[in-house]
Chains A and B, each alone.
Chain A
């Protein structure tokens, strides 16, 4: 097959970081090409160059042998290259049809021909095989449906190359299946798909070829994915063999640490109760919409509780106030790091010290030396990859941002309960193991840890016990000895026969 999309000696540097150096590889026409690498390996930078958002320092991108010197996202659109980011770029208050036509509405003299709009979009969606009502508002769609709309938009713009950045990270398994089917159809139309993911099973299932990046360099290029093994790819990504990424080991569990009694709130109607022991890692599994994150926010006091109590070591925690929860020894690493976790525009140092600085700031006056020490200590301990503690947190990769947020809580005093929602979403294999290791250490020190995850292998891999949530209720309580994929999924999905379900 002929090479359709080529990257030739691409280099790109930022102050203090050489994000990409001398990357060359090519993708055949009609191929789904996987792009893997740890966070910070350079995938996002490569995608950004492809999207036209930024320009390479050296090298060029060629499509059908033609060098693409584009300098803006619009130019890239014209060249038929569309990147679909993790954060979707649709206007929530407009309809599907309006979003698809945004920028080039049909009609005369600025008057939109609504009927034509709906008809054309309806036909197009049917043709691509996307089942979404063209007149529905984007805000009313699920994340999965929104992603479909983004892809439809790419198809309508006659995209020759579509890059998908972690497309399944917030999809349920059912939604992922629909996405995969759509990718298959696009492939058969000859569209080149660049598929960025951390999930090896998806890569093996979808991709024809694969490129692995490591530390901004090309670690491996596999024109035929059937000739590589899983372990080989992991080794290429991390530069070392990881035999068991979970690394779970048994721990002594102590007395009850966290007790949640019959809590409910505006979005969680049925009262929920559970408890966690010292040293225990409790997993919460459930599909998107099962109420896991709502439960988390209620326990932490981020949302107001209608009723119920939360107690740590027998002492009740006040109902609706994160600062009080933190003082009582309960901390949260939120699911959506970008919106709820990091304070963008501020440095790593400030992001880490935001809560714990009150312990060493007499009369509210900062101790900058102590803050710097603290930041350096946790940057080293958690192996945050950054040129300096002064770096704006927004410039870090997802895994490193997660480590900074963990650092924020590890620097607190007397943390008894750690709630961590989607601990490794968007985080690469190497950093995942590091984060799991940190959790085991904390548990061994007697902390009670609650892990919420929509990745079943992860929950099964690292927790001591799993509570399965379904439609706002706890559907099952399963101890590690009884972990069974089918049983857990069956509890999570009441209306779907388990035989049809693929674990995510």
Chain B
């Protein structure tokens, strides 16, 4: 193997590709490497980034969650409606977290206890929850009454908007959870071999319920931040989010067959998705082309991943 090939197909291959792509874009695309644009870019990936943290756990344990987009919209809606009704933003936030967590819990219980395929279960809840969001709002956007709700997304700390801090915090926390806790290791073990993990004393059903419940909670956080940014609860917000999030995870080297995941990979995956979109915006490329480009990036990532496992297989 040439050293270039080794570099690209090695553990850090994706990071290398990302760094190179970033450098090229920074040098060639005007206005890319400005503070304003960088913050805008990071703002634009907050929802994907936050949800990808727990999607990584879902995928690593051989599961799947398609209901994330609907849960984000629904919990954002709940946050707005509950804080409007009660006059308290805290009550709104609590209600959103409760609803998000509940959706996740239902997913988890149905999947783990009734042994229904995660794809089908979350496909169902995806539609049910989206339906709830539409019913609750009668299909219209619900405006935020209390302007301090906007502050969630608008406030800054050290010049950086709060949602970006939240995303960074989640990256740190879930990176730690994956690598340094029993929960993370058990997640990877379940993905590697569920039956062996069960016989080795891992409570597989409980783990799966927790993973989905956590996913729901995290979706609620993303939903609240999104509602704050768009200054309303939108029943049609975050459509197609599930696919972007799964794409970002797969880009980041999370195996759909379970058992393999890394937080750095997911972060890079999220950033690649964000940069592609950002660059196309800066270059005034029509939005329609963005779908094609996103699809191509995903295909290339999977191809790269395949080459990488083949290389690893030859080595070991």
Residues of A within 8 A of B (CB): 14-15, 54, 300, 302, 321-323, 326, 332, 334, 339-346, 350, 353-355, 357-358, 361, 364-366, 368, 392, 395, 408
Q: Residue B170 at the A interface, CB < 8 A?
A: no
Q: Would you call A343 and B192 a contact (CB within 8 A)?
A: yes
Q: Would you call B200 and A350 a contact (CB within 8 A)?
A: no
Known: A345-B260, A361-B182, A395-B316. A408 touches B192 (CB 8 A): no
Residues of A within 8 A of B195 (CB): 339-340
Known: A343-B189, A361-B181, A361-B182. A15 touches B315 (CB 8 A): yes
Residues of B22-80 at the interface with A, using a CB-CB cut-off of 8 Å, are: none
Q: Which 5 A-B pairs have the closest CB atoms?
A: A355-B201, A343-B192, A345-B259, A326-B201, A345-B192
Residues of B212-264 at the interface with A, using a CB-CB cut-off of 8 Å, are: 259-260
Question: Which chain A residue shows the least CB distance to B184?
Answer: A366
Q: Residue B117 at the A interface, CB < 8 A?
A: no
Number of contact residues on B: which range applies? 20 to 34
Question: Which chain B residue shows the least CB distance to A391?
Answer: B316
Known: A14-B315, A354-B189. A341 touches B181 (CB 8 A): no
Residues of B within 8 A of A341 (CB): 196, 199
Q: Would you call B193 and A364 a contact (CB within 8 A)?
A: no
A-B contact pairs, 11 of them (CB 8 A): A322-B201, A323-B203, A334-B196, A342-B196, A343-B197, A345-B259, A346-B189, A354-B185, A354-B202, A361-B182, A366-B181
Q: Would you call B200 and A355 a contact (CB within 8 A)?
A: yes
Central interface residue in A14, A340, A353, A357, by most chain B CB within 10 Å: A340
B315 to chain A, nearest CB (A): 6
Q: Residue B96 at the A interface, CB < 8 A?
A: no
Chain B window 182-210, contacts with chain A (Cβ cutoff 8 Å), 1 for yes, 0 for no: 11011011001101111111110000000
Question: Which chain A residue shows the least CB distance to B185?
Answer: A350
Q: How far is the CA of A32 from the CA of B314 in the complex (A)?
A: 31
Q: Would you call B198 and A302 a contact (CB within 8 A)?
A: yes
Residues of B within 8 A of A355 (CB): 200-202
Known: A345-B192, A354-B185, A392-B316. A366 touches B180 (CB 8 A): yes
Q: How far is the CA of A411 from the CA of B195 in the complex (A)?
A: 20
Q: Would you call B193 and A339 a contact (CB within 8 A)?
A: yes
Q: Would you call A366 and B182 a contact (CB within 8 A)?
A: yes
Question: Which chain A residue shows the least CB distance to B203?
Answer: A323
Q: Would you call A342 and B193 a contact (CB within 8 A)?
A: yes
Q: Would you call A340 and B199 a contact (CB within 8 A)?
A: yes
B265 to chain A, nearest CB (A): 15
Name the prevailing secondary structure of the B interface residues: helix
Question: Which chain B residue shows the least CB distance to A17?
Answer: B316
Q: Would you call B199 and A300 a contact (CB within 8 A)?
A: yes
Residues of A within 8 A of B193 (CB): 339, 342-344
A333 to chain B, nearest CB (A): 9
Q: How far is the CA of A414 from the CA of B99 in the complex (A)?
A: 43
A335 to chain B, nearest CB (A): 11
Residues of A within 8 A of B183 (CB): 364
Q: Would you call A332 and B199 a contact (CB within 8 A)?
A: yes
A302 to chain B, nearest CB (A): 6
A407 to chain B, nearest CB (A): 12
Q: Would you call A354 and B316 a contact (CB within 8 A)?
A: no
Q: Would you call B180 and A354 a contact (CB within 8 A)?
A: no
Residues of B within 8 A of A346 (CB): 188-189, 192, 259
Residues of A within 8 A of B180 (CB): 365-366, 368
Question: Which chain B residue shows the least CB distance to A334?
Answer: B199
B203 to chain A, nearest CB (A): 5
Give me 12 other A-B pairs in contact (C-beta within 8 A), A322-B199, A339-B195, A344-B259 excluded. A302-B199, A323-B202, A323-B203, A342-B196, A343-B189, A345-B259, A346-B188, A350-B189, A353-B185, A354-B189, A358-B182, A368-B180
Residues of A within 8 A of B186 (CB): 354
Q: How far is the CA of A323 from the CA of B188 in the complex (A)?
A: 18
B204 to chain A, nearest CB (A): 9
Q: How far is the CA of A410 from the CA of B241 in the complex (A)?
A: 46
Q: Would you call B185 and A14 a contact (CB within 8 A)?
A: no
Q: How far is the CA of A300 from the CA of B203 in the complex (A)?
A: 14
Residues of B within 8 A of A339 (CB): 193, 195-196
A129 to chain B, nearest CB (A): 37
Question: Which chain A residue shows the least CB distance to B258?
Answer: A345
Question: Which chain A residue shows the least CB distance to B206?
Answer: A323
Central interface residue in A300, A334, A344, A354, by most chain B CB within 10 Å: A354
Known: A346-B259, A392-B316. A357 touches B185 (CB 8 A): yes
Q: Would you call B185 and A15 a contact (CB within 8 A)?
A: no
Q: How far is the CA of A408 from the CA of B199 in the complex (A)?
A: 12
Question: Which chain B residue shows the least CB distance to A297?
Answer: B199
Question: Which chain A residue shows the least CB distance to B188?
Answer: A346
Residues of A within 8 A of B316 (CB): 14-15, 392, 395
Q: How far is the CA of A392 from the CA of B314 in the complex (A)?
A: 14
Known: A343-B193, A346-B188, A346-B189. A408 touches B200 (CB 8 A): yes
Q: How far is the CA of A435 from the CA of B203 in the complex (A)?
A: 28
Q: Would you call B315 and A354 a contact (CB within 8 A)?
A: no
Q: Would you call A364 and B199 a contact (CB within 8 A)?
A: no
B192 to chain A, nearest CB (A): 4
Q: Would you call B181 and A365 a contact (CB within 8 A)?
A: yes
A488 to chain B, nearest CB (A): 28
A117 to chain B, nearest CB (A): 34
Q: How far is the CA of A341 from the CA of B182 in the complex (A)?
A: 19
Residues of A within 8 A of B314 (CB): 54
Return the contact of B185 from the options A322, A323, A366 (Cβ within 8 A). A366
Q: Would you call A323 and B196 a contact (CB within 8 A)?
A: no
Return the contact of A364 from the options B181, B189, B202, B203 (Cβ within 8 A). B181
Q: Would you call B199 and A354 a contact (CB within 8 A)?
A: no
Q: How far is the CA of A211 from the CA of B203 in the complex (A)?
A: 46
Q: How far is the CA of A395 from the CA of B313 in the complex (A)?
A: 10
B159 to chain A, nearest CB (A): 33
B207 to chain A, nearest CB (A): 11
B175 to chain A, nearest CB (A): 13
Residues of B within 8 A of A334 (CB): 196, 199
Known: A15-B316, A343-B193. A323 touches B201 (CB 8 A): yes
Question: Which chain A residue shows the least CB distance to B194?
Answer: A343
Q: How far is the CA of A345 from the CA of B185 in the complex (A)?
A: 12
Q: How far is the CA of A321 from the CA of B201 in the complex (A)?
A: 8
Residues of B within 8 A of A358 (CB): 182
